[in-house]
């Protein structure tokens, strides 16, 4: 397009009519962040000087120090670490391998791009496990043919549902194969598990992510393969009498190690004992830089603190900025955070997490009492100019769940546009270069606006 | 994020309440496109087998043939070329050069990443034009210091306004420097013009685009440089007494050449003489693959035809799918299209263009009579599930302007999210790899839904 003189607007003009003070303050938030925002530079530091930071790893320990040092420079009233123990799973970076080794008993080596799943254990020997493949579309097929599973490696080729507009719905649907697929196959005697990656990308990068063993069954090795390789393997399985595959993984579960949540605080002037929590999780997977998951949530959190300080905002309630430990594998950081609130007799009035990526903001999902929706709907026009006005019912982030469980705290999460998220999620492409500066900053604008509104009016 | 069992929704559930038939049909459109859409594969063909296709070039001639052949396979009632002449500017790919050659009269070679602007002429000799730099922030500064401009090369370092949420507003504001800056400087005796690229990217890629000479003044060479180089050059100019720069360009305006709009038609069953136009422009700049500008508009147009045929939809009005010739340099294809409608006594009832990229859809901008807004606002809930419900007042695309001028036709344009658009617009990074498949398809879903609603209810 060349046209330079038209006047089409992506977002409607700022709504001054309904609440002039609020729309003016939110415009100040937006102007300051879009001009002076530091989230992108901070994300560069986190991703490029530390990189992947699996909870329990030395990189995670570095990230804790970086988070504290960064908060320290930002002028919070208080910055501290909240110690907790985290599980210590290691991939043992010797290379996860999945390969076809023979077709119809004729040797044929076809390596597939694969990652061991998080928490999955290494194969008994360095040469891995080699066995016949048993390919199924879903759990129904597994159950139907359970008698044939023994001694085989089960391959779940379950696809993301393409017709869901929100890719998170497809993830919620497919995720059980990654999470529980190994033990469900081991129950029938399978000796290994391969899963189609939790993605709808056009590339072949595999996607790792947590799995969980059911202690009643043998703990078999589990790996994810890329989508193109999954299609290839599925086709091969359909066309062949027997396909043999090898899985070689090196995962180990070591004793728990100390870690911490990193916390900064702005003290409330009117209700200091009432706590608004804003957070993201500091840990990531080890195969990438944890840029969108959840580096962007970390720097969103820092940006909200920065802008409130820059605008001289003094909150009524205490606002706590939290970088949670180990969202990916255990949720122990979040559990600790909520438990300590309880111990101290504090009152959490709102829990917010950004953990759905740093893509352009669409809105928020809220888990709040039904009667709160009237208030929220009245706020929506204030968010329209900044792209974040799609307020929908749903959950908060994983790290605010303990607040819900212990206190029934209203929670929310940022909903960035979801189309690109599962292209990069838990894969090697979740790197700084795949984050867009303005999209990231615009997310922070909407979050800061929401925190401001909740602090001012309650929920 | 690991959480796989939550139920947050990016978009609210399909609204069945208000117009069940329409929401069901639009869901069918969405399901079919997200499952069977061909836009991404077609874009791959256009960008990878043809690539950049400046109107008048041999590549553009190829694109016309590809467009017709593709439409022919899609089962339209009629496919034809609508011949028109287009201007024939050539860059003469010998490399556009901008470089600092001396600082305070001390030789110092500092090459800057640059593109000649479209329509700009080559320097008189192969060694280009070397002269003292005169750096200004904006036209006000140029006017203020106009006596100092003679014999110099003017550098406009005008920035995109960062606080506009829609980057299109910043483009509309800054674009005049690219468009008219050369002649405004030549008026005061400048011998060359350099402009900060029309972008707000974090990289240093230069962005070309059309400029126009005012025939009253000498036609001086004009080039755009990348943003980092612009910052460097500006700083150098502030810190130095004199900076000399060289511009070397090779542009030439050759005689007009024949080209064509490519048109496919679905004949209307009730009002065949009433025409709904859906289009994108087939030409692009020569420095990239013209992926977002406007390959995505081309394949959006094709996808709408595909899905309406796939669902067996028979329109009441004639729907014309148009790939316009030369939007970038002249608008001649669009002029021809509107003029021929007039000649034939046809009645255009709606003009639509997709020419703002293939990023995730936000909504549409409409230029329609005031009384139409009641109807449009009632349609918005139907678009919410697909992300395209931000209906705002504004213009249509450049290629529907002649319809507005000749017939006062209501027009609209797709508004994809704008944050990434000017990172890649008219630059070497506007390539297939920067288009996301699902974002592209979701744009087509919203366009097809709009065309369906306009065909069914009028505007």
Interval A206-219: pLDDT, tens: 999 999 999 999 99
Q: State how far the Cα of B61 lies from the Cα of B54, in Å rounded to an integer.
A: 9
**Which residue is listed with tokens 């612009």?**
B230
Are B290 and B430 members of one domain? yes
The reply to whether residue B413 touches residue A8, judged by beta carbons under 8 angstroms, is yes
Q: Which of B162, B398, B418 sits opposite A10 (nearest CB)?
A: B418
User: Nearest chain B Cα to A175, which residue?
Assistant: B4
Question: Do A390 and B162 lie within an 8 Å CB cutoff?
Answer: no
Check CB contact under 8 Å for B417 and A417: yes
Which residue, A198, A227, A250, sits at the end of a domain?
A250
Indicate if the pLDDT at residue A256 is higher than 70.
yes
Q: pLDDT category, A94, cuts 50, 70, 90? A: confident
**Quick check: A389 pLDDT over 50?**
yes
Task: List, in sequence order, every beta strand (DSSP E) within B172-233.
Answer: 192-196, 222-225
Residues in Cβ contact with A125 at an 8 Å cutoff, skipping those fewer than 6 apart: none
β-bridge pairing A243-248 and A97-103: antiparallel
Q: Is residue A218 located within the same domain as residue A347?
A: no
Six token digits for residue B277: 């136009």
Tens place of pLDDT per residue across chain B (459 aa) = 765 544 444 444 444 444 699 999 999 999 999 999 999 999 999 999 999 999 999 999 999 999 999 999 999 999 999 999 999 999 997 889 999 999 999 999 999 999 999 999 999 999 999 999 999 999 999 999 999 999 999 999 999 999 999 999 999 999 999 999 999 999 999 999 999 999 999 999 999 999 999 999 999 999 999 999 999 999 999 999 999 999 999 999 999 999 999 999 999 999 999 999 999 999 999 999 999 999 999 999 999 999 999 999 999 999 999 999 999 999 999 999 999 999 999 999 999 999 999 999 999 999 999 999 999 999 999 999 999 999 999 989 999 999 999 999 999 999 999 999 999 999 999 999 999 999 999 999 999 999 999 999 999
Please give the mean pLDDT across all residues of chain B. 95
Which residue in B8, B365, B425 is closest to A9 by CB distance? B365
Helices (runs of H) and strands (runs of E) counted in chain A: 12, 16
The pair of three-digit structure tokens given for residue A157, joined into one six-digit string: 């080729």
- Percent of chain A having pLDDT more than 70? 96
Query: Contact B168/A360, CB-based, under 8 Å?
Result: no
Q: Is A132 a catalytic residue?
A: no
A214 and A143 co-located in one domain: yes
What is the number of residues in chain A?
A: 459
pTM value is 0.96
The overall average pLDDT reported for chain A is: 95
Q: What is the pLDDT of residues A233-250, one digit of tens each?
A: 999 999 999 999 999 999
CA B156, CA B145: separation in Å to the nearest integer? Answer: 13
Contacts with A1 from chain B: Cβ below 8 Å: 293-294, 327, 355-356, 397-398, 425
Facing A436 at nearest CB: one of B172, B419, B438: B419
- Say how far residue A66 (Cα) sits from the centre of its chain: 20
Between residues B237 and A459, the one the model is more confident about = B237
By C-alpha distance, which of A226, A249, A250, A247 is closest to A98?
Answer: A247
Q: How many Å lie between the alpha carbon of B40 and the closest alpha carbon of chain A? A: 10
The three-point CA angle A211-A209-A120 to 5° equals: 45
- Shortest Cα distance, chain A CAs vs residue B365, angstroms: 6
Higher pLDDT, B9 or A127: A127
Q: Kindly determine whether residue A417 and residue B34, on different chains, have CB atoms separated by under 8 Å.
A: no
Q: Are residues A260 and A345 in the same domain?
A: yes
The C-alpha atoms of residue A304 and residue A300 are separated, in whole angstroms, by 6
The residue annotated as part of the active site, out of A327, A353, A401, A439, is A327
pLDDT in tens, A317-335: 999 999 999 999 999 999 9
- A12 in a domain, yes or no? no
pLDDT digits (tens, 9 = 90+) for B17-52: 446 999 999 999 999 999 999 999 999 999 999 999
Tell whether A290 and A418 lie within a shared domain.
yes
Does residue B244 share a domain with residue B126? yes
Same-domain check for residues B267 and B401: yes
Please identify, among A250, A281, A301, the residue that sits at the C-terminal boundary of a domain: A250
From A105's Cα to the closest Cα of chain B, the distance in A is 36
Residue of A10, A179, A394 with shortest CB distance to B4: A179
Could you tell me if B112 and B61 lie in one domain? no
A362 found inside a domain: yes
Q: Identify whether residues A133 and A147 lie together within a single domain.
A: yes
A11 domain-assigned: no
CB A225 within 8 A of CB A98: yes
Compute the average pLDDT of residues A439-449: 98
Are B387 and A362 in contact by the 8 Å Cβ rule? The answer is yes
Q: Give the domain CATH number at B135.
A: 3.50.30.30
Residues A128 and A58 in one domain: no
Beta bridge partners of A156: A136, A195
Structure tokens at A204: 């072949």
In chain B, what residues touch A427 (CB-CB under 8 Å)?
Answer: none
A14 pLDDT above the threshold of 50:
no
Size of interface A-B (CB pairs under 8 A): 192
Nearest to A419 among B360, B419, B423 (CB): B360
3-state secondary structure of A297: helix
Nearest CA in chain A to B283: A1
Q: Do B172 and A7 touch (CB under 8 A)?
A: yes
Q: Are A311 and A266 in contact (CB under 8 A)?
A: no
Q: pLDDT value at position B243?
A: 98
Contact flag A390-B356 (C-beta cutoff 8 Å):
no
CA distance B140 to chain A (A): 19
DSSP secondary structure, A10-35, as one string: SSPPP--SS-HHHHHHHHHHHHHHHH
The minimum CA-CA distance between B366 and chain A, rounded to whole Å, is: 8
Of B8, B172, B438, the CB nearest to A365: B8
Bridge partners (DSSP) listed for residue B100 = B110, B245
B126 membership: H or E segment, kind and range: none
Contacts of B386 in chain A (CB under 8 A): 165
Q: Examine residue A291 and state whether it is found in any structural domain, yes or no.
A: yes
Assign A90 a pLDDT band (cuts: 50, 70, 90): very high
- Kindly state whether residue B440 falls inside one of the protein's structural domains: yes
**B42 within a domain of the structure (yes/no):** yes
Decide if B1 and A165 are in contact by the 8 Å CB cutoff: no
**Contact residues for A411 (Cβ-Cβ < 8 A; gap 6+):** A350, A351, A352, A353, A366, A367, A368, A395, A396, A397, A400, A401, A403, A404
- B141 shares its domain with B240: yes
* Rounded Cα–Cα distance for residues B198 and B430 (Å): 14
DSSP characters over A377-406: HHHHHHHGGGT--EEEE----GGGHHHHHH
Quick check: B165 and A437 CB within 8 A? no
Instruction: State yes or no: pLDDT of A17 exceeds 70.
Output: no
Tell me, yes or no, whether A54 and A161 share the same domain. Answer: no
**Overall number of domains in chain B:** 2
Domain-located, residue A360:
yes
Nearest residue on chain A to B442, alpha-carbon basis: A165
Domain assignment of residue B240, given as a range: 97-250
Cβ within 8 Å, pair B415-A162: no
Return the residue in B8, B298, B355, B415 with the most chain A beta carbons within 10 A, the one to mutate for interface testing: B8
Confidence grade of residue A19 (pLDDT, cut at 50, 70, 90): low
- CA torsion angle for B70, B71, B74, B78 (degrees, to 10)? -150
pLDDT value, residue B19 = 67
Domain-located, residue A14? no
A272-to-A163, A402, B241 alpha-carbon distances in Å: 46, 21, 57
Domain containing residue B73: CATH number: 3.40.630.10
Q: Which residue, of A198, A232, A250, is where some domain finishes?
A: A250
């Amino acid at each position: 397009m060349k046209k330079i003189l038209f006047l089409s607007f992506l977002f409607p003009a700022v709504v001054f009519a309904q609440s002039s003070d609020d729309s003016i303050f939110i415009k100040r938030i937006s102007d300051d962040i879009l001009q002076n925002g530091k989230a992108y530079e901070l994300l560069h530091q986190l991703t490029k000087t530390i990189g992947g930071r699996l909870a329990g790893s030395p990189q995670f320990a570095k990230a804790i120090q970086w988070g504290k040092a960064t908060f320290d420079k930002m002028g919070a009233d208080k910055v501290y670490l909240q110690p907790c123990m985290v599980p210590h799973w290691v991939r043992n970076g010797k290379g996860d391998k999945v390969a076809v080794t023979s077709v119809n008993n004729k040797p044929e080596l076809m390596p597939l791009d694969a990652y061991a799943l998080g928490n999955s254990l290494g194969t008994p020997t360095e040469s891995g496990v080699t066995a016949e493949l048993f390919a199924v579309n879903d759990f129904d097929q597994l159950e139907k043919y359970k008698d044939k599973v023994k001694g085989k490696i089960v391959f779940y080729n379950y696809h993301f549902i393409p017709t869901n507009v929100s890719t998170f719905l497809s993830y919620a649907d497919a995720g059980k194969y990654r999470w529980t697929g190994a033990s469900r196959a081991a129950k029938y005697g399978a000796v290994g598990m391969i899963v189609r990656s939790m993605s709808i990308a056009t590339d072949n990068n595999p996607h790792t992510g947590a799995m969980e063993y059911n202690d009643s069954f043998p703990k078999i090795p589990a790996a994810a393969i890329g989508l193109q390789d999954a299609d290839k393997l599925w086709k091969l399985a359909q066309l062949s009498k027997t396909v043999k595959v090898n899985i070689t993984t090196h995962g180990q579960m070591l004793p728990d190690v100390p870690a911490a949540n990193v916390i900064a605080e702005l003290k409330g002037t009117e209700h200091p004992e009432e706590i608004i929590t804003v957070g993201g999780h500091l840990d990531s997977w080890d195969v990438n830089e944890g840029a969108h998951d959840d580096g962007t949530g970390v720097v969103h959190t820092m940006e909200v603190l920065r802008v409130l300080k820059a605008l001289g905002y003094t909150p009524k309630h205490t606002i706590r900025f939290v970088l949670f430990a180990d969202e990916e594998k255990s949720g122990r950081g979040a559990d600790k955070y909520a438990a300590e609130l309880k111990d101290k007799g504090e009152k959490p009035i709102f829990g917010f997490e950004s953990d759905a990526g740093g893509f352009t903001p669409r809105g928020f999902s809220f888990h709040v009492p039904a009667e709160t929706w009237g208030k929220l709907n009245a706020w929506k026009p204030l968010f329209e100019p900044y792209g974040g006005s799609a307020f929908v019912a749903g959950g908060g982030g994983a790290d605010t769940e303990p607040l819900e469980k212990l206190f029934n705290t209203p929670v929310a999460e940022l909903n960035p546009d979801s189309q690109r998220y599962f292209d990069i999620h838990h894969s090697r492409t979740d790197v700084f270069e795949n984050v867009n500066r303005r999209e990231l900053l615009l997310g922070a604008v909407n979050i800061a606006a929401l925190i401001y509104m909740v602090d001012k009016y309650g929920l």
